[in-house]
Structure 1
């Protein structure tokens, strides 16, 4: 299944949906979008799943012609930064249909993600990103945490915590960046979103 993409990014409508309200049809449509957006990880979206690790709590979905063309997953959780607990809104499964990349849809989605995190009264957004998308996150207000790594469990191996090679990033939402705890190790204590 392929996801149709509009030629005019202004035709996108947005909604924030609780996970329990995502029906099987929407999961299949999101699965198609995620597979097209992340072709190198299609095995993670097996069996029509629209999540790869931990399931999101909320989903920000941009639609065109009734079909999802942009998506962000959000999950409230506590992280430990050198043994200090920190509440965050973990952000993941960030996808824009390949034909819409570079049209401003990603920037709009980043702005709406920030507003969704604020609506959940979260002090920070948090994610780990690969170098290939670092520029996007920096351009949309995220801050890299150099010299910091994240340890978590991988789907399918919940017995061994591993350190990820992806760059930890923080988005100040209702708190100042200076309020982020100092430390070199972030413990996710769970599976990545």
Structure 2
């Protein structure tokens, strides 16, 4: 994990919060990292998502998948009637995390995310996407799910509410992580000003 990228994601830079020019920030790098560590327990899934988004960190993504898998298994245990294949739970997790990581949608294969394709020696707008991304709707979600567990669209419809629930849970965890971090940083800044 690259610490600089993590700090940049949360806006934790060595900015001087007082008057004047130059000098050091009120919070050192160690203090900023400690603030992340202190608030981690409030939303570890949210922090893992942010780290995976910011750094393309595979370990954070694997840890996030593990947490989402536990949540999905609990959802199925509480609400699903009958047998649920393990591959379905995995497909739900992969799909929900993909939606949470790539909020704009899936990258378009036709234009490779540029939003433009070449036709007759001219660049024209890609007709398959919106600015290089295919927005998430029930069909694109089904397509992502179907890559993990090939089933019919009608069969997928019984799983779709679980995808929505997992995506909402992940989004709430990310919001909690942001708010916890912001609150902790404000507290640290206030304490640093008292000392300075």
Q: TM-score, normalised by structure 2?
A: 0.25
Higher helix proportion? 2
Higher strand proportion (structure 1 or 2)? 1
Larger Rg: 2
